[in-house]
Structure 1
Amino acid sequence: MTQPSRIALVTAAGGGIGSAAVQHLLTSGLAVVAVDRDAAALEALQACLPAAALHTFTGDTTSEAEVAQAVELAGSLGELAVLVNGVGSTCGSSLRDLTLGEWQRLFAVNLTSAFLCIKAALPLLEAAAGDRVIINISSTLAQVADPETLAYGAFKAGLEQMTRALALEVAPQRIRAVAIAPGPVAATGGEAGFETDENARLNPLGRFARVDEIGALIAFLASPAASYITGTIMRVDGGDSALGAGWGPLHALLRDRRP
């Protein structure tokens, strides 16, 4: 009897980290349902990765109905074994400039999206055999305060705490939950002017992360080799968090704001 395909569902799959995750998960032997609200980004992904095991779904992960459709597609293809919540957004506003509407939008994108995907996917993950994992993409800004990303940092911190609590809830079913917290990542559509050589040199390794490094970590965490890793936050920041006092450019930002 043929074994059912093992499926990974990846949200924000058209972005830099998401597309790298899709590539590495396909290489590891998983079939992938790539979800993004940007149809053109998914078409570009399929053009770069023309694999029969790649399936796409255009939808908004802040919509409960559209999330349910994406999860239903994954379930129709085989056993859902991996969920990667990669959706995130920031606006670069301080508290004084942040509107209620923008706060609510960022909450929906950075936290509600993951909640909806996990809640919809969990019954399929519980029904699948073998190793299963939920991987949430956080940020080092969940732990390092930045006055320009107040809402984003707060919601990513919430995502990390949700990951820890979830790991304990699903552990009896031998399902794992982990989060990855990248520092600055090169070429992912970040704010113009941020990815400068000067900023990169402030990192202990002298550069920003590459999306393929994050994608490779996602594939590792989705593999049996990581079967004892759960409830933890994986920092991928080139040593920034070891500095203790925060990231260099933030010091410069605060210095320049002093009267």
Structure 2
Amino acid sequence: MKRALVTGGSGGIGAAISRRLAADGYHVYIHANQGIASAQQLATEICVAGGSAEALQFDVTDSVAVTAELAPLVENEPIQILVNNAGIHDDAVFPGMRPDQWHRVIDVSVHGFFNVTQPLMMPMIRSRWGRIVNVSSIAAITGNRGQTNYSAAKGALNAATKSLSLEIASRGITVNAVAPGIIDTAMSESAFDAKAIANIVPMKRAGTPTEVADLVSFLVSDQATYITGQIISINGGMI
């Protein structure tokens, strides 16, 4: 049974991805930091339904803690599927943005990507099979007012996706990013009402976490062997 790690796996999109990968037959490590109780509950639900999952807790910005947690897991066999979904918003117009707002958002998305992905690389490379999916955002492509920090973080993630994909393509490992638009989660509910969504999205609705999970499921499957280095938008036609 291949093993998968989903960072930020207790949130709306992360939980949907965790459920889908478990349904696809993978053992899923559901990562959380603050939301570890939700991750543990989700792992229990997956196991009760016949899947295989367990929760992991660490701060993706703490490289020492990440390595301490992940190194023992890949000592004897690789984690071959990684979904870097952890990310945070801390929105403010740029002239009024505090330094901590900038650094924290960058830390989670960019430094978190490095801290989690790097310890898993050599075991994955030795296995000559792997799938890395980074969860980006439409904000990285179009920009968004009040999200210069978030756009910068996800834009860096897109660039890292392309560069890493070139380094390891010959090893049977693909690296792609998915860039959601407005997805129906608790995070988006506070930012967009139904009227705003109808004005912004050509499909006149928000996407669902399940639809994002379906895309991730495809990208980690054997059907996506020849797809790598791509930033794939899922946004109802916004761009």
1:28 equivalent to 2:24? Answer yes
The answer to whether the 8 A contact 1:186-1:195 is kept is no
1:7–1:74 CA contact under 8 A, matched in 2: no
Query: Structure 1 stretches of 5 or more lacking a match?
Result: 242-259
| Amino-acid identity (%) | 26
Aligned to 1:224: 222
Amino acid at match of 2:99: L
1:40 partnered with 2:37: yes
SS at match of 2:177: strand
Q: Distance in 1 between matches of 2:127 and 2:63?
A: 22
Structure 1: which amino acid aligns with 2:197?
A
The 2-side partners of 1:76 and 1:34 are apart by 19
Give the whole-Å Cα distance in 2 for the aligned partners of 1:112 and 1:33. 20
Match of 1:16 among 12, 19, 37: 12
Mind listing any 5+ residue stretches in structure 2 that lack a counterpart? none
Give me the whole-angstrom Cα distance separating, in 2, the residues matched to 1:233 and 1:45: 28
Q: Distance in 2 between matches of 1:221 and 1:74?
A: 23
Distance in 2 (CA, whole Å) between partners of 1:122 and 1:196 is: 41
Larger radius of gyration: 1
Q: What displacement does 1:187 show? A: 1.9
The alpha carbon displacement at 1:97 in A equals 1.4
The letter for the 2-side match of 1:181 is A
Q: Name which of 156, 179, 192 aligns with 1:181.
A: 179
Question: d(CA) in 1 for partners of 2:159 and 2:75?
Answer: 31
> What code does the residue aligned with 2:192 have?
E
SS at match of 2:80: strand
Q: Distance in 1 between matches of 2:189 and 2:156?
A: 23
Give 2:74's aligned residue.
Answer: 75
CA RMSD of aligned residues (A): 1.6
Counterpart residue type for residue 39 of structure 1: I
Aligned residue in 2 for 1:205 = 203
Partner of 1:104: 103
Distance across 2 between alignment mates of 1:85 and 1:43 = 19
TM-score, with normalisation over the residues of structure 2? 0.93
Residues in 1 aligned to 2:102 and 2:189: alpha-carbon distance in whole angstroms: 19
Q: How does 1:122-161 map to 2 (within 5 A)?
A: 122-129=121-128, 131-161=129-159
Partner secondary structure for residue 28 of structure 2: strand
C-alpha distance in 1 between matches for 2:187 and 2:45: 18
Deviation at 1:74, TM superposition (A): 3.7
State the 1:73 CA deviation: 4.9
TM-score (normalizing by structure 1): 0.86
> What is the rounded CA distance, in whole Å, between the counterparts of 1:69 and 1:32 in structure 2?
19
CA change 1:218–1:77 in 2 (3 A) is farther
The superposition leaves residues 230-255 of structure 1 with CA deviations (integer Å, 9 ceiling, x where unpaired) of 000010000001xxxxxxxxxxxxxx
Instruction: After TM superposition, give the deviation of residue 191 of structure 1 in Å.
Output: 5.9
Amino acid in structure 1 at the alignment position of 2:25? G
Partner of 1:247: none
Match of 2:213 among 200, 212, 215: 215
Bigger mean CA offset, 6-15 vs 37-46: 37-46
Structure 1 residue 77, shift from structure 2 partner:
7.8
Q: Tell me, yes or no, if the aligned pair for 1:6 and 1:78 is still in contact at 8 Å.
A: no
**1:153-178 Cα deviation digits (max 9, x unpaired):** 01111100010001001112121100
Question: Is the 8 Å Cα contact of residues 79 and 128 (structure 1) preserved in structure 2?
Answer: yes
1:206-234 per-position Cα deviation (integer Å, ceiling 9, x unaligned)? 10110001111111111000111100001
Q: Which moved more, 1:174-183 or 1:73-82?
A: 73-82
Partner of 2:54: 55
- Count, aligned residues: 235
